[in-house]
Structure 1
Amino acid sequence: MGTCFEFDREVMAVCLEASDQEDVLKKMAQKLYNADYVLETYSEAIILRERSFPTGLPTGINGVAIPHTDVCHVKAPMIAVGTLKTPVEFKSMGGLEETVPVKIVFMLAMNSGDNQVRLLSQLMQVIQDQHLLEQLAAAKSVSDLVRLLNGKIYL
């Protein structure tokens, strides 16, 4: 099964206030950069990738986005998790015209393609758990987020 993925509180955010999709991406990328998981190029790279390959997923009442970018912008693997105070529109992964009101963001910083694929498949299982998404969206603290997610992802 691999090792249990350890989330870093430094890159988690609860009730993040953001004006739009780009604002969300910048704020979360900045957390990853400040904690030394990604290079300075990561923020711009993730914004550009999201424009071409949107990652919004219509997952019931709590829409999810899983922005990620190329491994060359990453120093060490991490997943930044953020819940938004107010949902922000992201374009849907399926079609460019549809938008999803996103409440929970899983921003991936992976330094190997294999890890990224494995991680995405595990995240899909997390995202399909409506009860867990409700708990994440309702989390009042970073500690709550970490407690809810621990043991759900393996690398």
Structure 2
Amino acid sequence: MIDLHFDESLIFCDLKAKDQEEVLKVMGNHLYEKNFVKESFIDAIIEREKTFPTGLPTSSNISVAIPHTDSVHVNKKAISLAILKDAVEFGIMGEQEAKTPVKIVFLLAIDKQNSHLKILQKLISIFQNEDVIKFLTTEKNKTLIKTKIIECLDLKEMN
């Protein structure tokens, strides 16, 4: 099991944003307000995304992004999820200059470098599951979304 905070308050359904930076600011500020991350997290995540983009096209034609940054900017491990009302452009992981229209964003606040690999592996398995991707883009009930993500990521249930 992965020990990582995730609850309904960290889920955004139909988030409206004009671009990638606005998505990251909204999600990052929310994590900051809940004391999961330091104030420096927001700028760090935006800068890292410029250098190491995290957009991933999927077989279901719905792109996802998994922005994350150095653990020095994190107070407590958490994950935030945004399903965007309209897709915004993110750079494609591992490709210079290429962009993809992202609809689902998993923002990771991880406190140890080795922790993120296990989480990333689990996230990749979600991205390869067309049924889960379709569920995330259509479901509006945050409790059902939380339950599905906890199940898929094998997270410890937080009360």
User: Please, what TM-score do these two structures have when normalized by structure 2?
Assistant: 0.91
Structure 1 partner of 2:103: 103
Structure 1 partner of 2:21: 22
Aligned residue type for 2:47: L
Query: Which runs of no fewer than 5 residues in structure 2 stay unpaired?
Result: none
With 135-144 and 67-76 compared, the bigger mean Cα shift is at 135-144
Q: Does the 8 Å contact 1:25/1:47 carry over to 2? A: yes
- What's the offset of the Cα at 1:141? 3.0
Q: What are the Cα deviations for residues 37-70 of structure 1, in whole angstroms up to 9, with x where unaligned?
A: 0000000000000000000000132110000000
Q: Does the 8 Å contact 1:139/1:145 carry over to 2? A: yes
Q: Secondary structure at the match of 1:152?
A: helix
Percent identical among aligned pairs is 38
Structure 2 partner of 1:90: 90
- What's the offset of the Cα at 1:114? 1.4
- What's the offset of the Cα at 1:4? 6.3
Q: Does the 8 Å contact 1:81/1:105 carry over to 2? A: yes
Question: Residues of 2 paired with 1:3 and 1:116: CA distance?
Answer: 10
Aligned residue type for 2:11: M
Q: What are the Cα deviations for residues 88-139 of structure 1, in whole angstroms up to 9, with x where unaligned?
A: 0101003122111100000000001111111111111111111100100112
Q: Does the 8 Å contact 1:62/1:133 carry over to 2? A: yes
With 137-146 and 62-71 compared, the bigger mean Cα shift is at 137-146
> 4+ runs of 1 displaced by more than 6 Å?
none
With 128-137 and 89-98 compared, the bigger mean Cα shift is at 89-98
Which structure 2 residues correspond to residues 109-128 of structure 1 after superposition, within 5 A?
Answer: 109-128=109-128
Q: Secondary structure at the match of 1:96?
A: coil
Q: What are the Cα deviations for residues 9-62 of structure 1, in whole angstroms up to 9, with x where unaligned?
A: 222100000000000010010111111100000000000000000000001321
CA RMSD of aligned residues (A): 1.4
Q: Does the 8 Å contact 2:15/2:82 carry over to 1? A: yes
With 73-82 and 54-63 compared, the bigger mean Cα shift is at 54-63
Structure 2 partner of 1:56: 55
Question: Residues of 2 paired with 1:145 and 1:114: CA distance?
Answer: 26
Query: Which runs of no fewer than 5 residues in structure 1 stay unpaired?
Result: none
Aligned residue type for 1:74: V
Q: Secondary structure at the match of 1:151?
A: helix
